[in-house]
Structure 1
């Protein structure tokens, strides 16, 4: 079970704590970052925020060691909270934010910040997931990732790469019935594959989708 860091884990399951570590959450969270830590929001050459348009999430600025340290003063306690809530692992999302950074961030910046996150998680006796970002698979051991949470590895033909890297410790989420069926047929015996609606609606609400193989 993967849930937002502000939610409670579920008794009897392996619980993964979702932390948006490389971007802000949308809405009120953006206002909070602008008010308290505007210097840690990534800006383009015009001085405007660099935003993940799909989710209305400004990117965090992980471009220097000093900024990564400052961000850990905020994100680190979130990981501590996951441990205090008795989660088993943490899932830091948007590891691939550099792909949306207008050239301001690099894979090296992402790997450096991910190492800090992994160290913090392990200090708190939490496992840590690599979220997507096949480009960083060669660095997984140096970063310290323990398993992978992957979106649409069936759709994007990345399941073999993640399976080679993590064995059966890969949790894949597909968002269409066709991609789910194809992934189950090819990888259902080796990987955990789930079909969900993209908005991750709760059970009992319109649009809720859940299947697994």
Structure 2
């Protein structure tokens, strides 16, 4: 059965209002990142380099004082340290394969894919993740990045893009209800729907230059609202130098080269270069 795109709007109206507060205006206005550099610090927080005005950190970290801070939330897969909680308290929200075992993300084998296939499950997932979004807002973050929007591609066709966009609509509504901007993470082919139907305000991208996808994001969100992270390994596979990426007039305003593990600046493997 083909799932129609209208489902996104239906779920948004039925569930988002319940989670974000019917008729309630957010306590603060949603703001987009200011001009200036950015840093991607998911591997551990550290003092940002000079010139950085926007920092992305994990939801378990504190926001960067005085800077625009984006809170990382795994919206469509389990975090490694939270897997037991999902399996013990809400096992049916973890997608199962034909063998009955949780479906693993092959690229991140310590993460399991969440089951977004029904409205009831999406609502329950959103209720659980609302606790994390609330923590981001209470800590003082300005925006939320929802990772793994493309988990349906790793679901063995058990999930569809419409399933995930429907959940994304709920999560974005919750974020907006807390005065947080919401960032689409990757999935270039859905940038248009992500912005127009789901309501994402900006994009956080990985390897968009290496995959020749940056224009898909900037064409929708604008060059100033795309935070692009590149990694040496992907650039090498694409036979691209970072200098070439920075010289491209079509690139996003902010492009960053980071080490794949995103380790703090105190680690000898730390890499940080910016256009």
TM-score computed with the length of structure 2 as normaliser: 0.74
Any conservation in 2 of the 1:180–1:193 contact (CA below 8 Å)?
no
Aligned-residue offset at 1:190: 4.2
4+ residue stretches of structure 1 with deviation over 6 A?
Answer: none
Q: 2:100 matched to 1:47?
A: yes
Q: Which residue of 2 aligns with 1:98?
A: 152
Q: Which residue of 2 aligns with 1:165?
A: 220
How far apart in 2 are the matches of 1:149 and 1:190? 11
How far apart in 1 are the matches of 2:178 and 2:112? 28
Match of 1:125 among 179, 191, 196: 179
Deviations 1:9-47 (A, max 9, x none): 011211000001100112x42222111111110011221
Any conservation in 2 of the 1:154–1:180 contact (CA below 8 Å)?
no
Query: RMSD value over aligned CA atoms?
Result: 1.4
Q: Which runs of 5+ in 2 are unaligned?
A: 1-54
TM-score computed with the length of structure 1 as normaliser: 0.95
Aligned-residue offset at 1:187: 4.5
How far apart in 2 are the matches of 1:19 and 1:156? 24
How far apart in 2 are the matches of 1:67 and 1:31? 18
How far apart in 2 are the matches of 1:35 and 1:171? 36
Secondary structure (helix, strand or coil) at the match of 1:211 reads strand
Secondary structure (helix, strand or coil) at the match of 1:204 reads coil
How has the CA–CA distance of structure 1 residues 179 and 172 changed in structure 2, closer, same or farther, with 3 Å as cutoff? farther
How far apart in 1 are the matches of 2:139 and 2:86? 24
Equivalences for residues 142-161 of structure 1 within 5 A: 142-161=197-216
Q: 2:125 matched to 1:37?
A: no
Q: Which runs of 5+ in 1 are unaligned?
A: none
Matched residues, number: 212
How has the CA–CA distance of structure 1 residues 31 and 103 changed in structure 2, closer, same or farther, with 3 Å as cutoff? same
How far apart in 1 are the matches of 2:170 and 2:241? 34
Q: 2:265 matched to 1:203?
A: yes
How far apart in 2 are the matches of 1:144 and 1:117? 10
How far apart in 1 are the matches of 2:72 and 2:174? 15
How far apart in 2 are the matches of 1:9 and 1:60? 27
Aligned-residue offset at 1:77: 1.3
Any conservation in 2 of the 1:21–1:94 contact (CA below 8 Å)?
yes
The answer to which of 3-12 and 183-192 deviates more is: 183-192
How has the CA–CA distance of structure 1 residues 161 and 179 changed in structure 2, closer, same or farther, with 3 Å as cutoff? farther
Any conservation in 2 of the 1:98–1:104 contact (CA below 8 Å)?
yes
